[in-house]
A and B are shown apart, each in its own frame.
Chain A
Amino acid sequence: MAKLRDILRILATPCREATQLISRAQDETLDWPLRAAIRVHTAYCSKCRRFRHQLQVMRDALGGLADEGHDGGTAELSREARERIGKTLHSAGETGQ
Chain B
Amino acid sequence: MTTETRHNPQAWLDHHGDVLFRFALARVGNSTAAEDLVQDTLLAALRNRASFAERSAERTWLVGILKHRIADHYRELARQLVVAENAADEASGGFSRGGKWLRPPRAWQAPDSALASVEFAAILRDCLAGLPERSAAALTLRESAGMSGEEICKELQVTPTHLWTLLHRARMRLRECLEVRWFCGDARGSDKRKGN
Interface residues of A (CB under 8 A from B): 14-17, 19-20, 23-24, 26-28, 47, 50-51, 54-55, 57-66, 68-71, 73, 75-78, 81-82, 84-86, 88-90, 92-93, 96
Contacts and interface: CB of A to CB of B under 8 A. Distances in A.
Contacts of A96: 46-47
Contacts of B104: 47, 50
Contacts of A51: 105, 175
B100 A15 contact: yes
A87 to B, nearest CB: 10
Contacts of A82: 13, 17
A68 B118 CA distance: 11
Contacts of A90: 9-10
Given A15-B101, A77-B38, A92-B43, A60 B26 contact: no
A16 B169 CA distance: 12
A45 B167 CA distance: 22
B142 A27 contact: yes
Tell me what chain A mostly uses at the interface: helix, strand, loop, or mixed: helix
Given A27-B142, A61-B124, A66 B39 contact: no
B95 A62 contact: no
Contacts of B19: 71
Contacts of A88: 39, 43
Nearest to B20: A77
Interface string B152-179: 0000000000011001100110110011
A61 B149 contact: no
B144 interface: yes
B68 interface: no
B9 to A, nearest CB: 4
A63 B143 contact: yes
B47 A66 contact: no
B9 A89 contact: yes
Contacts of A58: 143, 171, 174-175, 178
Contacts of B114: 57, 61
Contact of A61 (B46, B98, B120): B120
A60 B117 CA distance: 13
Contacts of A93: 9, 46
Interface string B13-40: 1000111011101110101000100110
Contact of A16 (B18, B29, B99): B99
A62 B105 contact: no
A47 B105 contact: yes
